Amino acid sequence: MRLHVNGIPARVFKGGCDMVRSSLKRVALVALPLLAAFTLPAQNFNGVLTGIVSDATGAVVPGATVVLKNVASGDLRRSVTNSDGFFSIAAVPPATYTVTIEAKGFKKYELKNVAFSANDKRNLSDITLEVGETTSTVEVTGTVADITPVDSGEKSSVISTQQLQNVAVVGANAAEFIKILPGMALTGGTQTSTGYAGEIAGTNNGPIGSFSANGQRTGAMDITSDGANVIDPGCNCGQAVNVNVDMTQEMKVSTSNFGADAAKGPILIQAVGKSGGRDFHGQGFFYARHAVMNANDALNNSRGLGPDGKMLAPRPNTKYLYPGFTLGGPVLIPGTDFNKKRDKLFFFFGYEYYNQTVDNGIYQSFVPTADMRRGIFSQSSIDALRGAQSIGYQVD
């Protein structure tokens, strides 16, 4: 469960108390130590917005008010340009924003669709205010090309919510999406199959440790969820916590030249969880894979039928059933004006049940007969592996 207070995400853990609080004062006394626990240090995933405001002649505009508004939650962040026309807004969570700039004697400037991903540092260096009344507004619609950082050599890719929802993956781990990125290669070691299939959900079973990025060793990959490191610290080879596809807003994969504020690497995956906004949103989903829709392995079919008419090697009875739901929105208290404008406190809750029945099937082995160990490979010695039934080998 996630709470957003003024747009800053915090973790909330389940707990209980047998006492009924009779006053808000007691609630506050209990809540303050809990909120204080959320200030524990974690890897920063918030961004920074900077810019220089000038007029049509190129002269800087000091004292201009800059407002950054979260489109989903309505959360506001403010700054004022200094004597050099420069402003900076820090601790910007990943989301889509609208930038509004106002100064006396100038028309209001509005830039929409400014998207922030994890740890982004964006600079708006081409803000020009037009002379006029503040009641007039100059509206600019931002595009990805317009606001892509150009003052950093960071090499990274962002997997958006749309891709997470529309691209099919085998499992329910959002980190599996790294396989669609360039430079990512599955590793299998000496096995004939890949080291990660994505079918089984569980701890230490994610793609971390099974992919090589840009030729790096598999242990060079790290993953965080909302700034918290979720890789297995014992072996650096798997995820201690899975990143759920339906509860993830985006994933940013940084492969080189990122800032020193990223504690580990050289390949860093930053997952950002979904959060609540001004409006209530939710979804229900059901992910199902069942053995009745699978074809049997050809080698199993070659074993034939037993005396009872049943297959000696039936298809594995494996099934994966994952029901779940998500719900997010503003925190409201009926009968009060608390959070009336829906811009202070939000919640997001998600649940998914993993019902897995994993059948590994029949393990087959080839044991040489006594004749084979003496170098005799007659048809009868080969047929002796399965009695009178031929296993498909013929000796002329």
Are residue 92 and residue 198 in the same domain, yes or no?
no
Whether 381 is covered by a domain: the verdict is no
Shared domain check, 106 and 82 = yes
Q: Is residue 338 part of a domain?
A: yes
Do 349 and 305 lie in one domain? The reply is yes
Residue 394 lies in a domain: no
**Burial class, 17, CB count within 10 angstroms (exposed 0-12 / middle 13-18 / buried 19+):** exposed
Residues 175, 79: one domain? no
Domains held by the chain: number: 4
Quote the pLDDT of residue 30: 41
Is 384 within the bounds of a domain? no
Q: Is residue 297 part of a domain?
A: yes
In a domain, 374, yes or no: no
Task: Determine the pLDDT at residue 387.
Answer: 53
Structural domain boundaries, residue 319: 281-357
- Domain shared by 136 and 222, yes or no: no
Strand order in the sheet with 95-102: 76-80, 65-70, 95-102, 108-116, 137-141
pLDDT of residue 339: 92
Joined tokens for residue 77: 């962040």
Of 61, 50, 55, which Cα lies nearest the Cα of 84? 61
Q: Would you state the structure tokens that stand for residue 119, as one six-digit string?
A: 């740890």
* Residue 365 maps to a domain: no
- Determine if the peptide bond prior to 266 is cis (ω within 30°): yes
pLDDT at res. 83: 94
Residue 72 lies in a domain: yes
Model-level pTM?
0.71
Instruction: In whole angstroms, give the CA distance from residue 383 to residue 29.
Output: 80
| 165: CATH | 2.170.130.10
- DSSP H or E segment with residue 166: helix 161-166
Show which of 219, 242, 273 is a domain's final residue. 273
Q: Three-class SS of residue 32? A: helix
Q: What is the C-alpha to C-alpha distance for residues 113 and 99, in angstroms, rounded to an integer?
A: 9
Count of Cβ atoms closer than 10 Å to residue 92 Cβ: 20
- The answer to whether the CB of 227 falls within 8 A of the CB of 204 is no
Together in a domain, 52 and 94: yes
Q: Are residues 123 and 175 in the same domain?
A: no
The CA distances from residue 368 to 85, 303, 380, 381, in Å, are 83, 18, 13, 9
- One pLDDT digit (tens) per residue for the chain, 396 residues: 444 433 333 333 333 333 333 333 343 444 444 444 444 445 667 889 999 999 999 999 999 999 999 999 988 999 999 999 999 999 999 999 999 999 999 999 999 989 898 888 888 878 999 988 766 676 666 554 445 555 667 888 899 988 888 888 888 888 889 888 988 888 765 554 556 667 777 766 677 878 888 888 887 888 899 988 888 777 767 788 888 999 999 999 998 888 777 667 788 899 999 999 999 999 999 999 888 888 888 888 888 888 888 888 888 888 999 999 999 999 999 999 999 989 889 999 999 998 988 888 877 677 777 778 888 877 776 776 655 444 444 444
Confidence at residue 50, expressed as pLDDT on a 0 to 100 scale: 93
Query: Which pairing describes strands 47-55 and 121-129: parallel, antiparallel, or unpaired?
Result: parallel
Per-residue confidence (pLDDT) for residue 240, from 0 to 100 = 82
- Whether 96 and 190 map to the same domain: the answer is no
139 shares its domain with 169: no
Question: Tell me, what CATH number does 91's domain have?
Answer: 2.60.40.1120
Q: State the alpha helices, DSSP H only, in 244-343.
A: 298-301
